[in-house]
Amino acid sequence: MFHRSERLLLRPIWPEDWQAVYGGIADEGVVRNLARAPWPYSKQDARDFAARPLAPHEPRFLITTACNGQAIGCIGLDAHDPDYPGTVEIGYWIARQHWGKGYATEAGKAALSIAATLGYPRVYGSHFLDNPASGAVLTKLGFEPTGRVIERHSCGRGETAMTAEYAIELSCGADHSGSKAA
């Protein structure tokens, strides 16, 4: 699955993309805000991530610029808490040199459109409390706080940290991005 927005192309992550993934995520300031990525992030971690099989109902994408295909981050939908069957959680990161340009919000809109196309009625998101920028992205996307603040393990931090949980209700067939999935 591919998705084109105004400035971005979201496409599947292929094994040969490992260097692009590594080039953007091998930064402690990026990894410490993620739950599943370890720190230090190794080239082998990038190879393993890029080689993961594609999962049609839990897609993950390399975020690239539409004009020149430069990799700037990743975004995906993963199975959420087993207490909420049939729901997914959005996860994303943007390479530090691309922060503050609205790319996370634009990629998030595209991911929500894809989630709606896949028939998910609700998408969850969360952010570590010391990463309010990610909370701002979720809010811009229309997520609302669930009221849950929970401890979550961060592989990058090597410990648990408090996270705020958000959710958004999706309408079947709604376009959350103003662009088209292909």
Which pLDDT does position 180 carry in this prediction? Answer: 41
CA gap 75, 18 in Å, rounded: 15
Q: Residue 55: which residues within 8 A CB-CB, separation 6 or more? A: none
- Max intra-chain CA distance, the chain: 41
Which stretch of DSSP H or E encloses residue 161?
Answer: strand 159-169
The confidence score (pLDDT) of residue 181 equals 45
- Can you tell me the distance from the alpha carbon of 146 to that of 95, in angstroms, rounded to the nearest whole number? 28
pTM for this model (two decimals): 0.91
Q: What angle do CA 10, 136, 74 make, to 5 degrees?
A: 25
Q: What is the DSSP letter of 119?
A: T
Q: What is the pLDDT of residue 83?
A: 74
Mean pLDDT, contiguous 10-residue spans, the chain (182 residues): 96 98 97 95 98 95 96 94 82 97 98 95 96 97 97 95 97 51 45
Reading the block at residue 107, the tokens are 């990629």
Q: How many domains does the chain have?
A: 1
Residue 33 CA: distances (Å) to CA of 46, 47, 107, 113 = 17, 20, 17, 24
pLDDT at 182 (0 to 100): 45
CA 105 from chain centre, in angstroms, equals 10
What's 65's domain CATH number? 3.40.630.30
Distance of CA 157 to the CA centre of its chain: 18
CA 175 to the chain's CA centroid: 18
- CB-based burial label for 112 (10 Å; 0-12, 13-18, 19+): buried
- Residues of the domain holding 99: 3-181
DSSP string of 51-76? Answer: HSPP-TTS-EEEEEETTT--EEEEEE
- DSSP lists the bridge partners of residue 167 as 124, 144
Burial label for 46, CB within 10 Å (0-12, 13-18, 19+), is buried
